[in-house]
Amino acid sequence: MSINDLLRKRVSVRAFLDKPVLEETLKKIFTQAQLSPSNCNVQPWQIHVVSGAQKDALKEKLLQTVMSGKEPNPDFNWRTNYKGVHRDRQFGSANALYSAMGIERSDKQGRMVAMLRNWSFFDAPHVLFCTMEKYLNIMGAVDMGIYAQTLTLLMTEQGISSCIQGALGQFPDPIREFLNIPEERGILFGMSFGYADEKAAVNSTRTDREPVENSVIFLG
Ligand SMILES: Cc1cc2nc3c(=O)[nH]c(=O)nc-3n(C[C@H](O)[C@H](O)[C@H](O)COP(=O)(O)O)c2cc1C
């Protein structure tokens, strides 16, 4: 598949089949993802891939924390209050998701239940956590974003779907404890992945993009 085909095929998927990815396929994808570029080649990504019974146990632990009403305490600053066009696009993506799920804008409880699915990893067979040393801050986050895109495209090439989730960085404590992540390392975001349940309504969610003129200025 060409890069263009992969880019068009990749969408965020939020319902999965109960079918794990073969270990050798996982190894291949993560080995290839090591080719991602990073500032000064520091390769800050430390990735935890969790599957099977371990994933189920982590899900229970995480859901308990989320349902306890505890305030989010992310390791990195995720609290951007989007403004102007960014806010419009944020609403646009939420609308696309909730209308695909048949949830009305006014249905607060429905939206909350949909949001909670983040922390049950959308019932995916695998979840991963992207962690890096906290001191790296924005420089590390840039590298991690590039790494995540590399990973999603490699997965797409293998017919594997994914959803990058900032939500998985919101309640780091139970994850840190479960995975034995040292205090100096932070959880930036996570990703649920596996084979898409093509029949699930939520997976019909489609977002649009700005025309290139609104994002790119060509000079000369
Ligand atoms: C850094 C990042 C964090 C995201 N966090 C979440 C999340 O917590 N939950 C979720 O359902 N989708 C999340 N998404 C998916 C975006 O909503 C999605 O990429 C965007 O709406 C564009 O849709 P597409 O991926 O289908 O093209 C995240 C995406 C990125 C890149």
CA-proximal residue: ligand 1, atom 18 (nearest): 12
Task: Write down the residue that tokens 């992945």 correspond to.
Answer: 193
- Which DSSP letter does residue 70 get? P
| Ligand 1 atom at minimum distance from 14 CA | 11
Q: What is the average pLDDT across 75-101?
A: 94
CA-proximal residue: ligand 1, atom 13 (nearest): 165
Ligand 1 lining (C-beta closer than 6 Å): 11-12, 14, 93, 118, 163-167, 189, 207
> Residue 80: pLDDT above 90?
no
pTM (global) more than 0.85: yes
188 and 75 in contact (C-beta within 8 Å)?
A: yes
Tell me how far apart the alpha carbons of residues 51 and 178 are, in angstroms, rounded to a whole number.
13
Q: Is residue 50 classed exposed, middle or buried when 0-12, 13-18 and 19+ CB atoms within 10 A define those classes?
A: buried
Q: What is the average pLDDT across 111-129?
A: 97
Give 52 Cα–ligand 1 centroid separation in angstroms.
24
pLDDT digits (tens, 9 = 90+) for 190-213: 999 999 999 999 999 999 999 999
When pLDDT is cut at 50, 70 and 90, the band that residue 131 belongs to is very high
pLDDT digits (tens, 9 = 90+) for 167-194: 999 999 999 999 999 999 999 999 999 9
